[in-house]
Structure 1
Amino acid sequence: MSQGRSIRLFLVDGTPTGLLTAEIMNWTGHALTGPRSKLVELIQRPECARTGVDFFIGPDPQDSLRTQVYIGESDDVAQRLKQHNRTEDQGGKDFWERVCLVTSKDLNLTKAHAKFLESRLMNVARNIGQCTLINGTAHDYGNLPESDRADMEYFLEQIRIVLPVLGFEFLRDVTKPSQIRLANDIHPITVSQSPIFELSKKGSPIKARAQEIDGEFFVLKGSNASASWTSTPHCYQTLHTRLIEDSIFPLSENGLRVFADDYAFKSPSAAAAVILGRAASGRTAWLMESTGQTYAAWQEQQVAALKPAQPALPPTD
């Protein structure tokens, strides 16, 4: 099981929609985020006079389920914010609605460090594929001394921990069931995982298998899905279309779609809807492979098995 972390969040102006800072215990990094509407307050923050990396985030007009992200670096973040606040024809960027700045509290982050982080962050974001990255080609800044590269890799790991806490998921990687099976062949790893669940469609050869890993509901590689959305319009229809465009489950010779790899869904219902091509309640549609128990019944059984918390004992003299 992963070790716990302590993250300190601070609402700068006392509101959940304003500026927010985040720090991890024993990490020299410091994250600051806020909406574009708070640009004046952002620029006046002392962090903006430091060297660091920045993330400009906004909606993707071509895909409502994705975000657009621009990753940059600067030794004067305030100037970078002013530049990107201009209109597109003046060299700015119109798309972004929020910004996140990551700097160093001890001021030891140099321009070379920031360039290295920018390059690595762009590569990580592209490999994960959870956002539309609008940067150009990432340059390789691997000429840092070996000790500095090691320090920056650790700094990068902390960025990938703190950004999801602030609501930015595009750097968060997930451990797929197939990766766990391969890892266990070499060295057992400890994760929270459910039994295997199955989903089928009456009168259809569609059959899918899934497993919940650390709260993520994965449809397993080789599972079948409906070739198209077959019911009335629904929010999950957009997801079905996006997975087709991203080649997550290409069309096979038998007319069904087949998942090319394990794929994580936000919920059992999202997975069931995409597979069946219509809205569905995943809590009752998914059945445990070994017993036929529904996902909902299995989950309720886990809750019922919990031992009640013991009352605190009164202090003794």
Structure 2
Amino acid sequence: MLVGPAEDAKYEARIYVGEGEDPRMRLDAHHGNKDFWNRFVVFTSFGQALNKATIRYLEARLLQLVAAAERAELDNGNAPGLPPLSEPEVADAESFLADMLVIYPILGVNVFEPLAQAASPTRLHLEGPSASGEGAETDDGFVVFTGTLARAETVASMPGWAANLRESLEESGVLIPVEGGASLRHRPGPRHEGPSCDHRSASARVGRPRG
């Protein structure tokens, strides 16, 4: 899977799902003909644990899940159908898929399930110099809502983890400069930032330590 920033602001990412016998060769080819991606995830199996048909089944299932979740743009031109497999082969493939779906979110790829609604009506409000916004805890973790503003300048005491998150938000186009220069605007669409990220999200947007 190739992962990069989305062209349409309503999506969290742009991805390409593929399969092949030589991952390095495929990545070299994609380096020359796809310029959107800045990271990738590769799953492999030992020996003949997965045959070609099973691998194509996994590819098709991942594409189905991404399309249904509507959280990412797909760079794939066509979505292949599910290849015919025996019942035991389907069971093995779905077991492998379940393991993949556990690992992807750990790697920051959260595009396979629809964005959960807020677990409670409680919204957290952020106010600071040139910064304001709202967020809420959901079943997926903490979500930052459209309309949030981040302070353009940061202070030296800003924690490293907040600075890293801030850099990631700017590089991926989530935070966009606002005319006048004092603030950065959150692009349209809710932004999922993982479990228990309320204080980290706040620090990244006010540009300073925040408890």
The residue identity in structure 2 corresponding to 1:67 is A
Give the gaps of 5 or more residues in structure 2: 126-134, 148-178, 200-204
Instruction: Tell me whether 1:140 sits opposite 2:65 in the alignment.
Output: no
The residue identity in structure 2 corresponding to 1:82 is D
Partners of 2:31 and 2:57 lie apart in 1 by 25
Q: Any residues of structure 2 matched to 1:90-109 within 5 Å, and which?
A: 92-109=33-50
Q: What secondary structure does 2:99 align onto?
A: helix
Q: Any residues of structure 2 matched to 1:175-214 within 5 Å, and which?
A: 175-176=116-117, 196-197=121-122, 212-214=137-139
Aligned with residue 82 of structure 1, among 28, 33, 42: 28
Instruction: Tell me whether 1:128 sits opposite 2:64 in the alignment.
Output: no
Partners of 1:238 and 1:68 lie apart in 2 by 18
Give the superposition deviation at 1:211. 6.2
Q: Deviations over 1:200-237 (max 9, x none)?
A: 9xxxxxxxxx9634463579xxxxx9xxxxx98843x4
Flag the 1:76–1:141 CA change in 2: closer, same or farther, 3 A.
same
Q: Any residues of structure 2 matched to 1:143-182 within 5 Å, and which?
A: 143-176=84-117
Flag the 1:56–1:176 CA change in 2: closer, same or farther, 3 A.
same
Instruction: Tell me whether 1:66 sits opposite 2:7 in the alignment.
Output: no
Q: Deviations over 1:120-165 (max 9, x none)?
A: 1011111112221110221212411111112111211111111121
The residue identity in structure 2 corresponding to 1:212 is E
Percent identity for Structure 1 against Structure 2: 27
TM-score, reference length from structure 1: 0.41
Q: Any residues of structure 2 matched to 1:1-317 within 5 Å, and which?
A: 55-63=1-9, 66-86=12-32, 92-176=33-117, 196-197=121-122, 212-214=137-139, 216-217=141-142, 234-235=183-184, 237-239=185-187, 242-243=188-189, 266=193
Give the gaps of 5 or more residues in structure 1: 1-54, 87-91, 178-192, 201-209, 220-224, 226-230, 244-262, 270-279, 282-299, 301-317
Give the superposition deviation at 1:102. 0.6
Kindly indicate whether the alpha-carbon contact (under 8 Å) linking 1:160 and 1:172 is maintained by their aligned counterparts in 2.
no
Kindly indicate whether the alpha-carbon contact (under 8 Å) linking 1:69 and 1:131 is maintained by their aligned counterparts in 2.
yes
Flag the 1:97–1:85 CA change in 2: closer, same or farther, 3 A.
same
Partners of 2:136 and 2:35 lie apart in 1 by 40
Partners of 1:215 and 1:70 lie apart in 2 by 23
The residue identity in structure 2 corresponding to 1:75 is E
Kindly indicate whether the alpha-carbon contact (under 8 Å) linking 2:11 and 2:72 is maintained by their aligned counterparts in 1.
no
Q: What secondary structure does 1:153 align onto?
A: helix
Kindly indicate whether the alpha-carbon contact (under 8 Å) linking 1:71 and 1:135 is maintained by their aligned counterparts in 2.
yes
Flag the 1:66–1:199 CA change in 2: closer, same or farther, 3 A.
closer
Give the superposition deviation at 1:174. 5.0
User: Hey, what does 1:204 align to over in structure 2?
Assistant: none
Q: Which has the higher contact order (CA 8 A, sep 6+)?
A: 2
Partners of 2:51 and 2:109 lie apart in 1 by 25
